[in-house]
């Protein structure tokens, strides 16, 4: 918030702006200027809650986080208190967000506390003005993550709140200050400041209104009023066109809801299939899905509540009889209650349509993606690809009706394209007796890791000598990830033979350029995860002769036990012999002082540029044996150098070898 933002010195290139701040800061103002009053009164007309007589408070939200090994910290914000009782309280913050929170109970740790502390509005305003006047906060800013309202709007809102509560002097100064705030070198039109505010507030209101589609507790009439408010209050905004289009769709939907309510079937299961499909497609307007990661896409089959009987789920269970009506619904622009986005901290949000849902349902039924997005904020509806998606679906359906499910799945599996993975899964599950030839052909048809690797697991389900023979061949001719996947299956029946083969493949494989030190070849990851000392030994053999990117990758994956995503497998899950092999490889790598140029390591809120291989090895030694090895990966170089030798000496003395001399302190 504005009263708690990080302080920083004003750069020289905004010295002039600082002089402006100092000038108006020392001007007495018994009354606000006519311009400020005009804009405050305009803001009063926008329908935000009245804050005259409201306390200014610091809210502990109970939303907490932690940075590295530091204690957890609550998230605080400043706001005007609208209402409060023994149970909960309602506020509006300077970013115009309205919240109702419940008080936490006594004894709740501070970082989890939900409550508020009253502030002195005049004192808080003057503290902020002092910080700007003294150059402790710059007028040139950058947007914070998830910043929906600009800092100049928040400053204006603060000024408005002061004005409503009789603090005219502070209100005028804050108002004039708000006009000087800008992002980077971008300038604002101070002569038409109200238009600037209108654009930025409308942007935030549109962002919030779109997100509200995903909140099923907000009715469609309430959503309609939100968008009507944007049209009424912000007629010069860039959001006007989208708001009007949304209003038109919502008005149609509300009228359809009213008509449908009079004829809603009481027993859906008793309806004929065709009528049931029609009803379920209508109910897709209430389909709620969530997005599990970013970037990513909204999954209409996942609402975080474990729902498995939504309209979309029921249509998938009906299957092929639902296809004709789903194809017809692909061009239906009716809104649902599912919202997708590129990143949640920027306005990239899209309300999925019934057409988008129909495409997702068809994909599950057919195992074919008739629409493939070009980006992680792209959907069929916002790319306006409904017509071509429908054309592709109709072509598939015509072919399906002609050839039947079995032949369609065989052809799809053999194609070796992005749809082949789902087609192969369906073929193995439904027609295992004919799956192997098609699966083999489709797997061999591509060198794309995303296509070739997933079907490998299906060979394990077939479990025939022919399937095993294919997997053994894949160890030699496959791509990196598919070879590791095949080895994982063959390990179930002959661990020793499989590991021996993979060791040979690793030793004979050419060095490949790795993107990052924590991103090793899949064969190396496989060997690092095998609880056999000879597998670890193979990774350490002649390691110094490999490129530094390979060396860093091997040290990292051995330290993690072959796991993905930085998770470190405990040594308690490995045999003593394997632990010894891991320790030896890491200690040996402490001798490797080569840097991985242009690489950075981030952990626990800290980072190290151009890490040496020995830095990576020291980190994992400390993580696996913290009582034995002390190593600060982000410590100054002189300290790391001393720790690097001490760690080697600990191992050497335990193995009857002489200690190395310690570096002399400078």
pLDDT of 536 above 90? yes
Average pLDDT of the residues in 362-366: 97
User: What are the residues whose beta carbons fall under 8 Å from the beta carbon of 242, sequence distance 6 or more?
Assistant: 206
CA-CA distance, 553 to 17, in Å (whole number)?
A: 49
Average pLDDT of the residues in 355-379: 94
pLDDT of 661 above 80? yes
Residue 660 Rama label (left phi>0; alpha psi -120 to 50; beta): beta
Confidence of residue 12 (pLDDT cuts 50, 70, 90): very low
Closest CA to 147 of 78, 203, 66: 203
pLDDT, position 431: 96
pLDDT per position as a tens digit, 233-258:
999 999 999 999 999 999 999 999 99
Confidence of residue 5 (pLDDT cuts 50, 70, 90): very low
Confidence of residue 633 (pLDDT cuts 50, 70, 90): confident
Asked if residue 162 lies in contact with residue 189, where contact means CB atoms within 8 angstroms, the answer is no
User: What are the residues whose beta carbons fall under 8 Å from the beta carbon of 513, sequence distance 6 or more?
Assistant: 547, 549
Asked if residue 44 lies in contact with residue 13, where contact means CB atoms within 8 angstroms, the answer is no
CA-CA distance, 470 to 425, in Å (whole number)?
A: 17
Q: Give the CA distances from residue 447 to residues 156, 210, 442, 482, 548, in Å, rounded to whole numbers and listed in that order.
A: 57, 41, 11, 9, 26
pLDDT of 28 above 70? no
Q: How many residues does the chain have?
A: 666
pLDDT per position as a tens digit, 298-354:
999 987 777 788 999 999 999 999 999 999 999 999 999 999 999 888 899 999 999
pLDDT, position 145: 66
pLDDT, position 183: 78
| Residue 57 β-bridge partners | 79, 118
Give me the residue spans of the domains in the chain: 12-188, 213-261, 268-409, 544-666
Share of the chain above pLDDT 70, in %: 92
The vertex-70 CA angle with 64 and 71, nearest 5°, equals 50
pLDDT per position as a tens digit, 104-160:
998 899 999 999 999 999 999 999 999 999 999 888 877 776 678 889 999 999 999
Torsion angle in degrees (nearest 10) through CA of 561, 565, 568, 574? -30
Asked if residue 89 lies in contact with residue 116, where contact means CB atoms within 8 angstroms, the answer is yes
Confidence of residue 666 (pLDDT cuts 50, 70, 90): low
Residue environment code for 409-419, b if the CB has 16+ CB neighbours within 10 A, otherwise e: bbbbbbbbbeb
Closest CA to 159 of 201, 198, 199, 125: 125
Closest CA to 377 of 393, 356, 391: 356
- Find the largest Cα–Cα distance for the chain: 92
pLDDT, position 257: 97
CA-CA distance, 463 to 566, in Å (whole number)?
A: 33
Q: Cβ–Cβ contacts within 10 Å for residue 442, how many?
A: 25
Q: Tell which wins on pLDDT, 57 or 567.
A: 57
Report helix, strand or coil for 612: strand
pLDDT, position 26: 45
The vertex-62 CA angle with 60 and 64, nearest 5°, equals 110
HSE, side-chain direction, 13 A CA sphere, residue 603: 16
Tokens representing 32? 């606000």
Confidence of residue 566 (pLDDT cuts 50, 70, 90): low
- State how beta strands 140-141 and 182-183 pair: parallel
pLDDT, position 453: 92
pLDDT per position as a tens digit, 181-211:
987 767 778 889 999 999 999 999 999 999 9
HSE, side-chain direction, 13 A CA sphere, residue 422: 11
Cis peptide before 275 (omega within 30 of 0): no
Confidence of residue 370 (pLDDT cuts 50, 70, 90): very high
pLDDT, position 565: 66
Closest CA to 371 of 331, 429, 405: 331
Cα of 664 vs its chain's centroid, Å: 47
Closest CA to 556 of 498, 621, 635, 467: 621
Asked if residue 361 lies in contact with residue 312, where contact means CB atoms within 8 angstroms, the answer is yes
User: What are the residues whose beta carbons fall under 8 Å from the beta carbon of 644, sequence distance 6 or more?
Assistant: 590, 614, 618, 631
Q: Look over the chain and give the mean of its residue pLDDT values, rounded to a whole number.
A: 90
Helix or strand run (H / E) with residue 70: none
Ordered alpha helix ranges (H), 111-239? 121-133, 151-164, 168-178, 193-212, 220-233
Find where tokens 């050497």 sit: 652
CA-CA distance, 202 to 233, in Å (whole number)?
A: 8
Asked if residue 283 lies in contact with residue 360, where contact means CB atoms within 8 angstroms, the answer is no
N-term to C-term CA, the chain: 45
Find where tokens 């306390």 sit: 55
pLDDT per position as a tens digit, 430-489:
999 999 999 999 999 998 988 999 999 999 899 899 999 999 999 999 998 999 999 999
pLDDT of 14 above 50? no
- Overall pTM > 0.75: yes
Q: Cβ–Cβ contacts within 10 Å for residue 234, how many?
A: 23
Confidence of residue 15 (pLDDT cuts 50, 70, 90): very low
Cα of 562 vs its chain's centroid, Å: 24
Confidence of residue 518 (pLDDT cuts 50, 70, 90): low
pLDDT, position 146: 66
Q: Tell which wins on pLDDT, 390 or 507.
A: 390
HSE, side-chain direction, 13 A CA sphere, residue 346: 7
CA-CA distance, 544 to 552, in Å (whole number)?
A: 10
- State the Rg of the chain over Cα: 32
Q: Cβ–Cβ contacts within 10 Å for residue 378, how many?
A: 17
Tokens representing 391? 């054309």
User: What are the residues whose beta carbons fall under 8 Å from the beta carbon of 61, sequence distance 6 or more?
Assistant: 74, 75, 76, 77, 99, 101, 114
pLDDT, position 519: 65
């Amino acid at each position: 918030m504005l009263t708690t933002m990080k302080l920083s010195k004003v750069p020289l290139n905004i010295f002039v702006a600082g002089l402006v701040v100092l000038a108006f800061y020392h001007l007495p103002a018994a009354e606000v200027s006519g311009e400020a009053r005009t804009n405050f009164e305009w803001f009063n007309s926008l329908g935000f809650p009245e804050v005259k007589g409201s306390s200014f408070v610091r809210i502990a939200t109970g939303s907490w986080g932690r940075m590295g090994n530091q204690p957890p910290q609550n998230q605080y914000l400043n706001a005007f208190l609208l209402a409060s009782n023994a149970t909960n309280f309602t506020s509006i913050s300077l970013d115009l967000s309205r919240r109702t929170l419940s008080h936490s109970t006594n004894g709740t740790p501070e970082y989890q506390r939900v409550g508020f502390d009253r502030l002195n509005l005049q004192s808080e305003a003057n503290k902020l003005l002092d910080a700007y006047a003294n150059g402790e906060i710059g007028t040139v800013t950058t947007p914070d993550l998830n910043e929906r309202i600009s800092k100049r709007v928040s400053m204006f809102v603060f000024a408005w709140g002061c004005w409503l509560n009789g603090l005219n002097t502070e209100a005028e100064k804050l108002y004039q200050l708000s006009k000087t705030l800008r992002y980077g070198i971008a300038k604002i039109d101070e002569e038409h400041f109200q238009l600037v505010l209108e654009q930025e507030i409308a942007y935030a209101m549109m962002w919030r209104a779109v997100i509200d589609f995903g909140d099923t507790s907000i009715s469609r009439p309430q959503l309609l009023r939100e968008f009507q408010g944007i049209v009424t209050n912000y007629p010069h905004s860039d959001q006007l066109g989208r708001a009007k289009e949304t209003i038109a769709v919502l008005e149609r939907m509300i009228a359809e809801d009213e008509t449908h309510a009079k004829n809603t079937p009481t027993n859906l299961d008793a309806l004929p299939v065709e009528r049931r499909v029609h009803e379920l497609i209508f109910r897709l307007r209430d389909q709620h899905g969530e997005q599990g990661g970013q970037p990513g896409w909204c999954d209409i089959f996942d609402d975080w509540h474990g729902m498995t009987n939504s309209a979309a789920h029921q249509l998938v269970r009906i299957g092929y009889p639902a296809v004709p009506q789903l194809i017809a619904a692909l061009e239906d622009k009716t809104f649902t209650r599912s919202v997708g986005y590129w990143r949640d901290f920027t306005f990239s949000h899209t309300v999925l349509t019934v057409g988008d849902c129909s495409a997702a349902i068809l994909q599950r039924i057919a195992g074919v993606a008739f629409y493939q997005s070009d980006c992680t904020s792209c959907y069929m509806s916002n790319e306006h690809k409904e017509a071509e998606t429908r054309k592709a679906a109709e072509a598939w359906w015509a072919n399906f009706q002609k050839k039947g499910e079995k032949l369609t799945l065989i052809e799809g599996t053999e194609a070796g394209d992005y749809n082949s993975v789902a087609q192969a899964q369906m073929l193995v599950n439904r027609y295992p007796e004919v799956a192997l030839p098609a699966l083999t052909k489709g797997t061999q048809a591509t060198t794309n890791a995303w296509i070739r690797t997933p079907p490998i697991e299906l060979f394990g389900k077939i479990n025939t000598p022919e399937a095993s023979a294919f997997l053994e061949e894949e160890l030699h001719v496959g791509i990196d990830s598919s070879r590791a996947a095949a080895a994982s299956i063959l390990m179930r029946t002959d661990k020793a033979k499989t590991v021996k083969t993979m060791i040979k493949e690793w030793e004979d494989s050419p060095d490949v350029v790795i993107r990052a030190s924590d991103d090793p070849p899949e064969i190396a990851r496989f060997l690092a995860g095998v609880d056999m000392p000879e597998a670890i030994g193979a990774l350490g053999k002649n390691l110094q002769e490999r490129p530094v990117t390979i060396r860093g990758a091997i040290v990292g994956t051995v330290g993690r036990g072959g796991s993905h995503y930085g998770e470190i497998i405990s040594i308690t899950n490995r045999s003593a012999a394997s632990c010894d092999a891991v320790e030896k490889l890491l200690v040996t790598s402490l001798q490797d002082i080569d840097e991985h140029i242009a690489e950075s390591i981030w952990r626990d809120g800290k980072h190290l540029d151009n890490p040496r291989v020995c830095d990576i090895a020291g980190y994992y030694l400390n993580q696996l044996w913290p009582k034995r090895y002390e190593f600060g990966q982000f410590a100054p170089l002189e300290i790391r150098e001393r720790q690097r030798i001490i760690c080697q000496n600990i191992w050497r003395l335990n193995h009857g070898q002489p200690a190395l001399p310690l570096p002399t302190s400078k």
